[in-house]
Structure 1
Amino acid sequence: MRLLRFDTPGRLILTGFRGKPIPPYAILSHRWSDSETLIEDISNRNHKEKEVGYRKLQFTAERAAQNGLQYFWIDTCCIDRWDNNERSKAINSMFQWYRNAARCYVFLSDVSAVTETAACSDWEASFRKSEWFTRGWTLQELIAPVSVEFFSREGQRLGDKASLNRLLHEITDIPLAALRNCPLDQFSTSERRRWVKNRRTTEEEDIVYCLLGLLGVSMPTTYGEGKESALRRLQAEVEGTARAPSIIPFSRNESFVGREVQLADLEAKLFSNDQTTTTLAIVGPGGTGKSQLALEVAHRTRLNNKNCSVFWMDASDMDSLYRSYASVAQKLSVPGCDDDQADMKQVVKRCVAAMSARQCLLIYDNVGATTLRPSGSFTTQAADLADFLPHSNLCSVIFTTTESNTAEALAPRNVTALHELTPDTALRMLQNCLTTPLLNAEQQEAMHLLRELLYLPLAVVQAAACMNASSMTVQQYQAQLDDHKEAALEWSDDSSEGEQRESGLGKTVVAALSLSMSHVQHSNAVAADYLFIAACLDRKDISLELLEAASPRAREDAVKVLDKYALVTRRPAESSLDLNRLVHQALRKRLQVQGRLMQWTQRTITQLLRVYPDDDYSNRSKWRRLLPHAQYALSRSATDDNDEEKLSLTEKCALNLYSDGRYKEAEELQMQLMQTRKRVLGKEHPDTLRSMHDLATTYSSQRRWKEAEELQVQVTQTTKRVLGNEHPDTLTSTANLALTYSDQGRWKEAEELQTQVMQLAKRLLGDEHTNTLRSMHNLAFMYTDQGRWKEAEELQMQVMQLTNRVLGDEHPNTLSSMHNLASTYSHQGRWKEAEELEVHVMETRKRVLGEEHPDTLSSIHNFAFLLRSQARREEALALMETCFQSRQQVLGEQHTGTQSSLDTLNSWRAECGNESP
């Protein structure tokens, strides 16, 4: 949980309380506008620019201070909306956060304060009509907290839950006892469910999800399932107290038909292995219903065996798989599951042990060869996946996958292959999906249509969706489908009919998509454009920010049209959507045949560049989600050396990859960028030289000194020749070359160059210029590497004093200079002086930058080494453990910083005789 506060100079600070006691705090309840302050606005110091959001922020801070509370919480700017893990956890934690708040302030933007002459009834009238009382999510914000105070849009207090309880009861029909914080279990489940009767939500499922905290249950949010489906799952959770704990994020598909043979076969094989876990696999092309078959097995198992836990795991990528395990760990009360700092691998390990001790059915949905290790061999991935599986004869596992070799490797001799449906089953599926029942006279036409659709479940569902959305009969749909077959011939691949059937892209299936798109285009042209943008992005987790619209409402309307035609899967909790693989493939083919693929790819790159952030730490969650889309678009764009937008996006992606320690991928993009700029701009252009410098830095991070040196020599020589020996860029490039020499232990060459840089910088820029101070720091760093402590200390003391005077005692450069001086003290055994400085640096970074900032984590890492040097082994080990876990969470497992902490931790544990993680 993150909380906000203002420090003494009036600076807004966002503080994380991961793994620490949470102090008393106030919490805001409000309705969102289009001008809310977001977490990135806080990090980027832009929080004052959004008038409405900043007014609420000021209001909450002032009220909290008046109530003696230092910290406060506002949902818009305390939750990282770009971090899917955090967002998912927040939805299920919200009720508890409101309940634990010392004060809850309700900001009513549609209620005006009473004046000195106005009667009480004046504000009461608008209070009764306030939209706040009609929203689903504000129900828990009224019930959960002990203290709830209501304020007008002017910030005037109108009363609280105690003084206004009669009025609140009249407005909401909620019993007075509930408003007075009587324990909720004193009210029946049906009564608590009635409290949302007159409320509404933007998403129909939210009217169910907003009851989770009130009913004391938790379950995954599955937007797109519909209100009735969500209600059935909620009911199952409420009634499931007598059953084994389970997580099935989808309700039973009432339209599921067929697959009787496969169902019987799968059920017969469950728990059939007396020695170890029973593993089964369902394989088939996209759209054949693998997940639906697994879902039916899951629900049947839970219904028929109340002692068997059933857990659904999204194995489409590592991030989703870890989220699934986190949910299971919470369900089974696995130690560490609520600790944000916990090592996720250790949580998974404990979770697997807990599952192995009980009867379980696990469904690993959508397993692919790239799920766990994109660059590895399949055998390695299968071995990695084994680490996530229980090893017990009490457990059975079902995998779903489109890849035959994956299925065979994971479940030898237990593979169920799916193909198209039988005609009768396809007809039943169509009938179940249509809102208007088929007449007897339409049966024959329907059978003809299904034959043309290859009896593919995905095509049947889309055809039914199109008929429902456009109020068409089967005959009308067939007639329009015939008109789209010619277009389908152009879209279809040149592959054989058999290959087309296998891929699900037969000409009539594509014709069905063409028909749906024509209706979408007629209904909402913006929605059709969204499909073409989505076709040029990675098909999963497409952020709505990439879809331009006149207003948020217009964008939402367009996305709902696509959902109505079953062309996308909406993910409202993440403000994103997914595209089915076959739809994605067909759309790209359509654009290619029409000669518009490159045009739309270019438009997509423009959109990406519009929302893509810089590589500052505070934007990490955002660019991590956008990066796969940028890489997809860039890798499939036209080769155009003059496309500056493409080059700019390439540079941003490379910097992001470098920041995450993904040096090979960064190097590939930087090499492309450097070569292009050399061709277009020439070898001496500043942009070319910058790209050469970035590539050299990436080489250095991989300890590839020779390649780094070669590039840096070129940059230095070019800047000297073009700009002169005394130009700032020349000094910078010379300093970088000196550092590369230093990294190789070539002290004499390094010192000579760095001394030149420092002397020139002093003469040209002055003693207090940041470039001068940086050159002094670099030279001191070279002295320390050679053990020349006295010379190093003298320079470092000068740098620290100058930066403190010029930049202030909390500036990052000042703190870095303090750390450098502390390091020199430490090497001389001057522990007290070193520790005093290191603690000051660490605490200041925590306060100013936050506990998760990479610089803060470096301070923790450094301080652990200082403690170790003083033989304070236990303190050092605990601190390094904290550093490793935080770096793993923030930087990722592959980052050099994370690996450095892990290597150190393993070494220290080995010395202590402890087991490595």
Structure 2
Amino acid sequence: MKTLIGFSLIETKQQEGSYAMHPVVQDWCLHIAATENNANLMQLNELALISVGSMVPNSNDRNYLGLQRRLLPHANYVLRGEKGDLWGENIAVWGAFIRLGNLYFDMGKLKEAQEMYQRALAGYEKALGPDHTSTLGTVNNLGELYKDQGKLKEAQEMYQRALAGYEKALGPDHTSTLRTVNNLGTLYSDQGKLKEAQEMCQRALAGYEKALGRDHKATLHTVNNLSNLYKDQGKLKEAQEMYQRALAGYEKALGPDHTSTLDTVHNLGNLYSDQGKLKEAQEMYQRALAGYEKALGPDHTSTLRTVNNLGALYSDQGKLKEAQEMYQRAVAGYEKALGPDHTSTLCIVNNLGTLYSGQGKLKEAQEMYQRVLAGYEKALGRDHKATLRTVNNLGNLYIDQGKPKDAQEMYQRALAGREKALGPDHTSTLRTVNDLGNLYKDQGKLKEAREMYQRALAGHEKALGRDHKATLRTVNNLGNLYKDQGKLMEAQEMYQRALAGYEKALGPDHPSTLRTVNDLRHLYEDQGKPERKRYQEMCQRALSPDHTSTLGTVNDVGNLHKLKLKRPRRTTGEHWQAGRSR
């Protein structure tokens, strides 16, 4: 570099930590390269490709997105118009393709990432064979890409091929084998196959503990994943125990400010939020946010992910102004880092739409959802799970706007898409079934509503168990339906089951518990039963200004006579809770 600078062929850009070449010099270099014979030109092209690939940063680097944005045009340039068969047999080229695939993946350019991985796979298969570990590593990467694209069947095929290959080449207990076992577990979780997911995660955990010990970071990473799974299953106590084990292990092995430690702190915040422990959740998020800002900077995606979740927490606490500020900061950060059409950006825009909907800003909410829907359809396709989540949210919004016909179209599209992509018994599918039940109930189609609720209830009980909060939400909805039908005894049974379940799973002060308390209060008032006084006292306690759940439960209510807690019949929209470290 000193020689090139000495001859003024390049110049140093001190502030940016980079070098620049004058366009005339660049044209001259290209001219010289073009006059070389084909063999020399191929070597120069390979050298350029390998050089760019070697500079792709790790996602844990402080300014990795800034580095990636600078590398992207170089990657595009060295790959311009070239086909895979024009590259030589240099193994380093295929490694460069892998790293460039990672670059495109992180920047949300999934089509280009797939092309890179497929080139690498073809090269490795030809040079090293289909069962070489480098080949299998690329197969595993393709599985991760297909998973993000919503191509769950193709992802499963890749993971299973990689797993079979690793087991044959390295044995069932090798760490590379276990990594793929863990990935299969996360895929099964996305497919709603929670039993199979648990088996994979437990196998990976047992293998890592044996091979690396209880406190190795790979072991702790799997502990963290198992915690995520328990959270999805509604096993909140077991999830908390796993997160706390992971946190203690990371703090001991890596220190309190390491990004892996902060990831687990963040995940604990998610769990506490789900448990209705909003104060504890806020403490976790604020610790994670401070740590990420110090370690990675204010614009890193891990930082922005926590900003998003703080926004969701503030929304649950009724601090709508603070929530909006968090979401807007997150959106601005993602737009700057990844662009306005990146899927991560669109996820936060979706959350902002959900907030606007909850504030009654229905026009602004519709604009957000429609932007998200158009972006997802372009980036991921009409049938991707993220696209369908937004379709479902639009259905909820149309209900609030008094457009039941439009809402029904959205729900039916979401239902058909989710049944095709995820199956009829997936929890996302059942959520739409539940929302359709709400719609039919509002339309007075009580028979159809009951069919939807009963289907949702049976599916949730099978997939998640009788006491999961999603199951209990449908139980409560059935209570509402029976009450409207005048079946007060059946309604009472449903409400009491929901209340007992919520109290056990979430505690007596959780907003979901208190909503069911309120429904029971109304039922007993209609029946003239003395039990109404007990539930009235519980509602009054919920309105106490120093009660922890007041803001989250009754943020728009001034006194008991105006108390109309929302029934848990649907959320304003499906919220994206960012940041479960996998």
State how far apart, in whole Å, the 1-side matches of 2:123 and 2:197 are. 31
Note the 1:220-239 alignment, pairs <5 A.
none
Q: Does 1:729 align with 2:167?
A: no
**Structure 1 counterpart of 2:333, which letter?**
S
State how far apart, in whole Å, the 1-side matches of 2:137 and 2:58 are. 16
The alpha carbon displacement at 1:791 in A equals 1.5
The equivalent position to 1:864 in structure 2, one of 295, 311, 315, is 311
State how far apart, in whole Å, the 2-side matches of 1:808 and 1:838 are. 18
Match of 1:844? 291
The equivalent position to 2:226 in structure 1, one of 767, 779, 790, is 779
The equivalent position to 1:703 in structure 2, one of 143, 150, 155, is 150
The alpha carbon displacement at 1:614 in A equals 5.3
Match of 1:329? none
Q: Does 1:834 align with 2:281?
A: yes
State how far apart, in whole Å, the 1-side matches of 2:32 and 2:228 are. 54
2:215 match: secondary structure: coil
Please give the per-residue CA displacement for 1:467-498, whole angstroms capped at 9, x wherever unaligned. xxxxxxxxxxxxxxxxxxxxxxxxxxxxxxxx
The alpha carbon displacement at 1:737 in A equals 0.6
Aligned in 2, Cα 1:619/1:855: closer, same or farther, shift over 3 Å? closer
State how far apart, in whole Å, the 2-side matches of 1:559 and 1:882 are. 38
State how far apart, in whole Å, the 2-side matches of 1:733 and 1:688 are. 14
Aligned in 2, Cα 1:849/1:722: closer, same or farther, shift over 3 Å? same
CA contact (8 A) 2:94 2:119 kept: no
CA contact (8 A) 2:53 2:96 kept: yes
Q: Does 1:904 align with 2:351?
A: yes
**Structure 2 counterpart of 1:847, which letter?**
K
Match of 1:718? 165
Match of 1:633? 78
Q: In angstroms, what is the RMSD of aligned CA positions?
A: 3.1
**Structure 1 counterpart of 2:251, which letter?**
N
Aligned in 2, Cα 1:609/1:877: closer, same or farther, shift over 3 Å? closer
CA contact (8 A) 1:634 1:650 kept: no
Note the 1:445-594 alignment, pairs <5 A.
550-554=3-7, 556=8, 558=9, 575-578=20-23, 587=31, 591=35
Note the 1:741-760 alignment, pairs <5 A.
741-760=188-207
CA contact (8 A) 1:630 1:653 kept: yes
Match of 1:602? 46
1:642 match: secondary structure: coil
Match of 2:103? 656
Unaligned runs of 5+ in 2: 12-16, 369-582
Match of 1:677? 124
**Structure 1 counterpart of 2:160, which letter?**
V
Aligned in 2, Cα 1:700/1:865: closer, same or farther, shift over 3 Å? same
2:249 match: secondary structure: helix
Match of 1:873? 320
State how far apart, in whole Å, the 2-side matches of 1:840 and 1:610 are. 34
CA contact (8 A) 1:818 1:841 kept: yes
Q: Which has the higher contact order (CA 8 A, sep 6+)?
A: 2
Aligned in 2, Cα 1:628/1:815: closer, same or farther, shift over 3 Å? same
Aligned in 2, Cα 1:591/1:807: closer, same or farther, shift over 3 Å? same
Aligned in 2, Cα 1:620/1:906: closer, same or farther, shift over 3 Å? same
Match of 2:569? none
State how far apart, in whole Å, the 2-side matches of 1:590 and 1:712 are. 43
Match of 2:518? none
> Which entry has the higher C-alpha Rg, 1 or 2?
1
1:904 match: secondary structure: helix
**Structure 2 counterpart of 1:867, which letter?**
Y
Q: Does 1:694 align with 2:152?
A: no
Count residues in correspondence.
357
2:130 match: secondary structure: coil
Please give the per-residue CA displacement for 1:29-57, whole angstroms capped at 9, x wherever unaligned. xxxxxxxxxxxxxxxxxxxxxxxxxxxxx
Match of 1:824? 271
State how far apart, in whole Å, the 2-side matches of 1:642 and 1:588 are. 24
**Structure 1 counterpart of 2:272, which letter?**
Y
What TM-score does the superposition give when structure 1 sets the normalisation length? Answer: 0.36
The alpha carbon displacement at 1:586 in A equals 9.2
**Structure 1 counterpart of 2:72, which letter?**
L
Aligned in 2, Cα 1:871/1:584: closer, same or farther, shift over 3 Å? farther
State how far apart, in whole Å, the 2-side matches of 1:611 and 1:715 are. 27
1:661 match: secondary structure: coil
2:79 match: secondary structure: helix
State how far apart, in whole Å, the 2-side matches of 1:595 and 1:803 are. 51
612-621 vs 572-581, which moves further = 572-581
State how far apart, in whole Å, the 2-side matches of 1:644 and 1:866 are. 49
Please give the per-residue CA displacement for 1:793-844, whole angstroms capped at 9, x wherever unaligned. 1221222222222221111121111222222221111111111111111122
Match of 2:259? 812
CA contact (8 A) 2:62 2:296 kept: no
Give the share of equivalent positions with the same residue, in percent: 27
State how far apart, in whole Å, the 1-side matches of 2:29 and 2:301 are. 40
State how far apart, in whole Å, the 2-side matches of 1:610 and 1:625 are. 14
CA contact (8 A) 1:588 1:597 kept: no
Match of 1:647? 94
What TM-score does the superposition give when structure 2 sets the normalisation length? Answer: 0.56
Note the 1:54-69 alignment, pairs <5 A.
none
CA contact (8 A) 1:662 1:894 kept: no
Aligned in 2, Cα 1:849/1:673: closer, same or farther, shift over 3 Å? same
State how far apart, in whole Å, the 1-side matches of 2:154 and 2:350 are. 26
Please give the per-residue CA displacement for 1:138-196, whole angstroms capped at 9, x wherever unaligned. xxxxxxxxxxxxxxxxxxxxxxxxxxxxxxxxxxxxxxxxxxxxxxxxxxxxxxxxxxx
The alpha carbon displacement at 1:574 in A equals 7.5
CA contact (8 A) 2:250 2:260 kept: yes
Aligned in 2, Cα 1:591/1:778: closer, same or farther, shift over 3 Å? same
Aligned in 2, Cα 1:586/1:712: closer, same or farther, shift over 3 Å? closer
CA contact (8 A) 2:227 2:243 kept: yes
State how far apart, in whole Å, the 1-side matches of 2:43 and 2:190 are. 46
Match of 2:483? none
Please give the per-residue CA displacement for 1:201-241, whole angstroms capped at 9, x wherever unaligned. xxxxxxxxxxxxxxxxxxxxxxxxxxxxxxxxxxxxxxxxx
Match of 1:257? none
The alpha carbon displacement at 1:785 in A equals 0.9
CA contact (8 A) 1:757 1:775 kept: yes
Note the 1:380-395 alignment, pairs <5 A.
none
State how far apart, in whole Å, the 1-side matches of 2:92 and 2:340 are. 31
State how far apart, in whole Å, the 1-side matches of 2:313 and 2:187 are. 26
2:63 match: secondary structure: helix
Identify, as 1 or 2, the structure richer in helix.
2
Note the 1:145-544 alignment, pairs <5 A.
none
2:23 match: secondary structure: strand
State how far apart, in whole Å, the 2-side matches of 1:586 and 1:553 are. 21
Match of 2:440? none
Identify, as 1 or 2, the structure richer in strand.
1
Unaligned runs of 5+ in 1: 1-547, 561-571
1:784 match: secondary structure: helix
869-878 vs 777-786, which moves further = 869-878
Please give the per-residue CA displacement for 1:307-358, whole angstroms capped at 9, x wherever unaligned. xxxxxxxxxxxxxxxxxxxxxxxxxxxxxxxxxxxxxxxxxxxxxxxxxxxx
CA contact (8 A) 2:173 2:207 kept: yes
